[in-house]
Amino acid sequence: MAAVTFRQAVPDDFQAICDLIPSAEELFLVYPKGKFPLTVRQVEKLLRRRMDPTVLLTGGTVAGFGCYYQYKPGESVFIGNVVLDRSHRGKGLGKELVLHLIQRAFRKYDLPRVQISVYSHNLAALLLYASLGFRPYAIAKRKDPWGGRVALLHLRLKRDAAKRRTDRVASA
């Protein structure tokens, strides 16, 4: 596996971010207000309301993306729009991306917790977030673009719980 690096997304990355999302179903999971196919213009509009857009690179190629939103200084921030290229899934890169976003939120913003939301049928993401220590605190009813009912789970990770989990992993 190629080395993984992270950096702030720049406009030249926006088409590659669009290309990470191959279907309307996946776009709903990543960016529910987006219209398939995702376009550079939609990414530009999204990022005007987001913070620290981050790309995960493998071998210099954009393979993942995530950012922050709903920042409340001294309280919390949400991690959002997390997506990983299909060819890189199941290799631990999604975990690396989310861990990077968690650690940076705690370091850069000195927050007591980070939050993330995930649709109930997104089993891979639910299991990943649970493995990182996120715990549910609320559920909201939503509709998908096809008129179906879905549950949006809101999860949070407290800084002290994240540190304990990281310390256990480092000592193993």
Please give the single-letter amino acid code of residue 172. A
What's the pLDDT score for residue 1? 57
The enclosing domain of 78 has a CATH number of 3.40.630.30
pLDDT at res. 164:
76
Count of domains observed in the chain: 1
CB-neighbour burial class of residue 66 (10 A; exposed 0-12, middle 13-18, buried 19+): buried
Q: Is residue 42 within 8 Å of residue 35, measured between CB atoms? A: yes
pLDDT for 163 equals 80
- Number of CB atoms found within 10 A of residue 162's CB: 20
pLDDT (0 to 100) of residue 168: 57
Range of the domain at 61: 4-171
Question: Strand 61-72 relative to strand 51-58: parallel, antiparallel, unpaired?
Answer: antiparallel
d(CA 97, CA 5): 9
**Spatial separation of the C-alpha atoms in residues 11 and 106, rounded to whole Å:** 26
Calculate the alpha carbon distances from 120 to 91, 144, 166 in Å. 22, 12, 26
Taking the chain (172 residues) in consecutive chunks of 10 residues, what is each chunk's mean pLDDT?
Answer: 90 98 98 98 98 97 98 98 96 96 96 97 96 97 96 97 67 46
Please give the pLDDT value at position 171: 47
Question: DSSP states of 41-55 as a string?
Answer: HHHHHHHTT-EEEEE
Please report where in the chains the tokens 């406009």 appear, as a residue: 11
Amino acid at 31: Y
